[in-house]
Copies of this chain bind each other. A is one copy, B any other.
């Protein structure tokens, strides 16, 4: 084997809602990811990548966002649940890319003010991620009643969340390495 290489695994913060606790969830995941050897990460905030109001899809691709997606070895998507679905801002941003995503893993962090951990938003997102060619992890992190998980300054109240997040990231790293092997070394007949 050649020497170990770096993995770029950004975290998409999927809502611009004022007062969003999802920021804290994204920061926590990025912090834990950053502790892993050979992993580079950053939080990509939908707030900083607005899609124009008067168009949609690849026509409004932002070079900055697309470059990050093309470079990524995998993604974490922090997705709060709004009315049993995903936020519009997240979907609009994801829809600006397509080939950039193929054969890369995506893990989803569900966030909810209520008791169900954002799992309904995750269910709705699965077919979208699949169409992008992303491979959904079969582990999630689910922040139910997120206002009880973090304090108002964003500090985690119960450190057990780091361990739970860690198991999810183990799976992300396994899949990122596995799929990069596939992209680089396994021939796809066409």
Instruction: List the interface of chain A (C-beta within 8 A of B).
Output: 15-18, 47, 50-51, 53-57, 59, 82-95, 98, 102, 115-117, 119-120, 123-128, 130-133, 135-136, 138, 142, 144, 167, 170-171, 173-175, 177-179, 181-182, 185-190
Q: List 10 A-B contacts (CB under 8 A).
A: A47-B53, A82-B91, A83-B98, A83-B128, A84-B128, A88-B89, A170-B189, A174-B186, A177-B186, A181-B181
Copies in the complex: 4
| Residues of chain B lying within 8 A (CB to CB) of residue A190 | 167, 170
> Is there contact, CB below 8 Å, between A84 and B47?
no
Can you name the residue of chain B whose Cβ is closest to the Cβ of A190?
B170
Alpha-carbon separation in the docked complex, A174 to B186 (Å) = 7
Partner of A119, one of B88, B119, B138, B171: B119
> Is there contact, CB below 8 Å, between B95 and A83?
yes
> Is there contact, CB below 8 Å, between A181 and B186?
yes
> Is there contact, CB below 8 Å, between A54 and B18?
yes
Can you name the residue of chain B whose Cβ is closest to the Cβ of A177?
B186
> Is there contact, CB below 8 Å, between A88 and B93?
yes
| Residues of chain B lying within 8 A (CB to CB) of residue A142 | 116
